[in-house]
Amino acid sequence: MKLEVVRFQCGATCTIGELMVDGEHECWTLEDVVRPDGVKVYGETAIPFGTYPVVVTFSNRFQRDLPLVQNVPGFDGIRIHPGNTAADTHGCLLVGTGRTATSVTESRLAFNALFAKIGDAFRRGETITITYKSGDA
């Protein structure tokens, strides 16, 4: 399974994008601010552009299984989970069925649909990757 986050609105407080699953629109995304290479503000920086493996593991913070983005240089514990604003992300990827300039909406609905697909792929033993790229790329 190939997940792709296309970042198209990088603002002062958050980054809005589109999540594609195997080339098809799945939902909208919200992340922390994209910063220049080498610049990181703890808990307020989007992960670097690139492709990373995704697995499903138990999250102690959320007390449930969640997708975990692995091998991100300088980042640990990057999850895909429900949430609506930059205050909810702490470096993670939030998903929603709708979007505004600074939030995603109906995040639990979007997450549940996405997690069903990721969970099925993970149980089948498929390789799951997520690519973060600019909408300008």
What percent of the chain lies above the pLDDT cut of 70?
Answer: 99
Residue 109 predicted with pLDDT over 50: yes
Q: Which pLDDT score is estimated for 135?
A: 83
- What tokens were used for 53? 């493996």
- Between strands 2-10 and 64-69, the pairing is unpaired
- pLDDT tens digits for 20-60? 999 999 999 999 999 988 788 888 999 999 999 999 999 99
Residue range 60-85: mean pLDDT, rounded: 94
Fold of 2-134: L,D-transpeptidase catalytic domain-like (2.40.440)
> In the block, which residue shows the tokens 């198209």?
8
Least confident of 34-43, 70-79, 104-113: 34-43
73-94 core/surface letters (b: 16 or more CB in 10 A; e: else): eebeebbbbbbbebeebbbbbb
Higher pLDDT, 95 or 12: 95
Q: Judge whether 56 and 119 are in contact, CB under 8 Å.
A: yes
What is the overall mean pLDDT for the chain?
A: 94
* Spans of all domains in the chain: 2-134
For residue 36, CA distances in Å to 10, 49, 101, 115 come to 12, 11, 21, 30
